[in-house]
Amino acid sequence: MQEAAVSTSATSPSTPSTPPLGTPPLGPVGVWLIGARGSVATTAVAGCAAMTAGLHAPTGMVTETAPFMDRGLPTLSSLVFGGHDTTSCPLPKRAEELAAGGVLPHGLPSAVHAELAAADAEIRPGGPQPGDTRTDEQLIEAFAADIRDFVRRRGLARAVVVNVASTEPLPADDAERLPASSLYAAAALRADCPYVNFTPSTGLHHPRLADAARTSGLPYAGRDGKTGQTLLRSVLGPMFAQRALAVRAWSGTNLLGGGDGAALADPAAAAAKNAGKERVLADTLGSAPEGEVHIDDVPSLGDWKTAWDHIAFDGFLGTRMVLQTTWQGCDSALAAPLILDLARLTSRAHERGLSGPLPALAFYFKDPDADAPAALGEQYAALMDFAAQLGETGGALGAPGDLRDLGDRGVPRDRGVSVEATGRVSGRADRGPADGSPSGEAS
């Protein structure tokens, strides 16, 4: 059982002051990465530095396209990176390994070495490590303190916590301890930071965190980033439905290397990953067809993946036909621009006073928040509407969240999140000062 709740100190309210709508925030914005020394995180940090320096175009970044111009998103140059990880390999070294594997362009690690080193200096030890005797409450408080310290020292307008750690198995229903992903999610709430879960791990979806998430006044999004096979399924599923073609079976195979392949070699972790892949078919076709997705760990592939789909369907007069697809890609290069997109969009949503789940960001996820469409075209339309709303003039957008919870310079005041004696994690209404995993690979 967990310890009694740990409280946070309260402060007196201050007068809200926010920048004009449609303009970037008044200060730098933090991106706190869970799994900060993994392939996806390293690629995101290196890529952001490369684009800021004008070394590479923002290919794959939806927020750099025309509909997102003048929407008040934080600029790429304003993003400051930090995070948690349980490994010690420095980001510059990890970037060199990725360049050797063809994930990053040759010469890029040396060109952005200073930015990688700066981000690496902001990475704090994650957990729980083997032999760690701290309770869930103590771990949450330690992680939240790291995030608050990051926000305070770097003078950030706000920070967004993004989980890009390796996939963990779903927790047992009777587990007394929270999984690591949920500890980090609870820490994000306690540090008053929006949260994005780019993995299929539990995160904020744990039932013990439901009340805390609902009452936090913070926006959050997830889960499980959509980068390859499921991205294609979210396009093809609606196509079959709209053309009235009866899908009889849909089977798939994934060949993965790197940390993602190793993590998903665990059948429990693979089951968590496959749930989202199968759900998109049920949602777009109206029912789940026959067939499964198999995931194989192929270490020699490194950060690259191959996904095959075999789709059996009936045409006019029952004519039986087959569509086969092959997707070969670099997972980190596919995921990294989405991480930057999500950090910018969630930061802006926070600035505008939005709270609760962000179904308009379903475009990015296999398992999006409730009430979100499953078809990619509908998801993109919702994202475009969201972009327009973020840049509108007028009052705050959020309901129930609004700008009343903002302190000086629009910086939100701290909210406490506690693990009570019952093991339940709860949010608390009192305010504190606005001052602040397992090793992650591709998700």
Report pLDDT digits (tens) over 40-61. Answer: 999 999 999 999 999 999 999 9
Its pTM stands at 0.84
pLDDT value, residue 410: 34
Nearest to 7 by CA among 405, 411, 420: 420
The most confident of 115-129, 263-277, 282-296, 425-439, by mean pLDDT: 115-129
Does pLDDT of 115 surpass 60? yes
pLDDT value, residue 239: 97
pLDDT value, residue 256: 86
Considering only residues 85 and 3, tell me which one the structure prediction assigns the higher pLDDT: 85
**What is the mean pLDDT of the segment spanning 6-27?**
44
pLDDT value, residue 370: 77
Contacts within 8 Å (CB) and 24+ apart, 308-312: 308/252, 308/253, 309/229, 309/232, 309/233, 309/250, 309/251, 309/252, 310/249, 310/250, 310/251, 310/252, 311/236, 311/240, 311/247, 311/249, 311/250, 312/247, 312/248, 312/249, 312/250
Give the Cα separation of 1 and 205 in Å (integer).
20
Nearest to 157 by CA among 198, 124, 194, 115: 194
Considering only residues 405 and 44, tell me which one the structure prediction assigns the higher pLDDT: 44
Does pLDDT of 107 surpass 70? yes
Task: Provide the mean pLDDT of the chain.
Answer: 85
Report pLDDT digits (tens) over 229-268. Answer: 999 999 999 999 999 999 999 999 999 887 666 666 667 6
Distances (CA, A) of 325 to 194, 229, 233, 280: 37, 9, 10, 17
Q: How confident is the model at residue 303 (pLDDT cuts 50, 70, 90)?
A: confident
Contact 219, 346 (CB under 8 A): yes
